[in-house]
Amino acid sequence: MPPGSPHARTPPGHDPRRGLDRLREVTSCYIVHQTGSGIVARALADWDGIRGSAAEAVDRKALGYYTARRISAHYYIGLDGRIWTLTHEAVEAPHVGVSKAERRAYLSGSWALGERPIGRGFRGISPAAVGAWRAAWPRYRSPQHLFPSVRVSECSIGSEMAPAGYHERGRWRPLPGVVTWLGTRHTLRQHLAVALLATDIARRYDWPLGWQHDPLGGPRSPYLLGHEDVDLFGRANLGGGWDPGALRASPRWDWDLVRGAASGILQGTRLAKFILDALGGGRQNGPLTS
C-alpha cells in the first residue's frame, strides 16, 4: 500500500510506515500547517552561504527535524514546492491537538468571548482573531464545527511547511534569494504544491464535486483548512491567526490562490499545465541534498 500521494517523495533513509499501529478510517479534510520559526532560525545559524541556498538550508533542517520524530504530519512542503512524505496517510498523526477544555469552550461559545480554557497557558483568543475567523466561516458556529468528528486528527491529512523568512530586530524579512507571493510569508510554489496535493487527496478519497467551495455558501472550503481554522487557542495573537496566517487583516497565506489553482488543476486548463510544469511535471525530481 503506497504511503500517500504519487506527487511526493520520501526523504532518503526515512520510513513513513512508522505508526501504522494507529490507523485512521476517514479523510474529510486536508490541514495546512506552518512550522515554527525556530527551525528557520537554526537553519540560518548553520548556513554558511556556500553549500546551497538559504531556502535549501531551511528545508534540510525542517526535514531533519520531522523525520527524527516517530510520527509527524503526513507531508512536508518545501519552499521550492517539493512535496515530501513524512507519515503514511493511513496513520492518525497528532498534527492538531484540541484539549477537552478547548473543545468545551468552542461548543459553549465562550471561545469567542476572550475566555481562556482552564489548565492551559494560552491566553484568550483576541477580538481580531475571532472576527477574522467569523469572516472566513460565517455559516459555522466555531472551529469545532468545521470537521465531522471529536478529534480533527482522526479525520484529516496534514502537511507542514516552513515560512519563507525570519524576524530580525522586530521586522520580518524574506530569506536571501527568496521571493514571497504578494505580501504573504510563503512562496508561490508552496501555494501551488498545496493545491496539487489537495486535488490529489480529493481524488483518492472521493470528495464530492466542487469540494473546493463551501457547501454552505461561505468564502472558504471546509475540506481545505489551516491549523488556525480548527483551533485558534495557541494559534493566534493580537493580530489574528498565524498558522499559516490567513486569518489576519494582512494575510500571510493566500487561500484564494490555492482554491483557484485547485480549480484549474481539476478543470485541466492551461493553468493546470503551468502548475504541473512549475512543480516538475507533478512528480518531485531529485532528493534534497544532505
CATH number at residue 155: 3.40.80.10
- The answer as to whether 125 is a domain residue is yes
Asked if 282 and 276 touch (Cβ cutoff 8 Å), the reply is yes
216 pLDDT band, cuts 50/70/90, is very high
Q: Kindly give the residue spans of alpha helices, DSSP state H, lying in 143-185.
A: none
Asked if 156 and 147 touch (Cβ cutoff 8 Å), the reply is yes
Domain that holds residue 218: 29-278
pLDDT for 91: 96
pLDDT for 118: 64
Structural domain tally of the chain?
Answer: 1
Burial letters 237-263, b for 16+ CB under 10 A, else e: eebbbbbbbbbbeebbbbbebbbebbb
Burial label for 37, CB within 10 Å (0-12, 13-18, 19+), is: middle
pLDDT digits (tens, 9 = 90+) for 73-104: 999 999 999 999 999 999 999 999 998 889 99
Asked if 185 and 165 touch (Cβ cutoff 8 Å), the reply is yes
- The answer as to whether 210 is a domain residue is yes
134 pLDDT band, cuts 50/70/90, is very high
Distance CA 202, CA 205 (A): 5
- The answer as to whether 288 is a domain residue is no
Nearest by Cα to 279 from 186, 201, 197? 197
pLDDT for 187: 96
- The answer as to whether 287 is a domain residue is no
Q: Comparing 137-151, 232-246, 275-289, which segment has the lowest mean pLDDT?
A: 275-289
pLDDT digits (tens, 9 = 90+) for 56-70: 999 999 999 999 999
pTM tops 0.85, yes or no: yes
pLDDT for 277: 81
Neighbouring residues of 272: CB distance < 8 A, sequence distance ≥ 6: 264, 265, 266
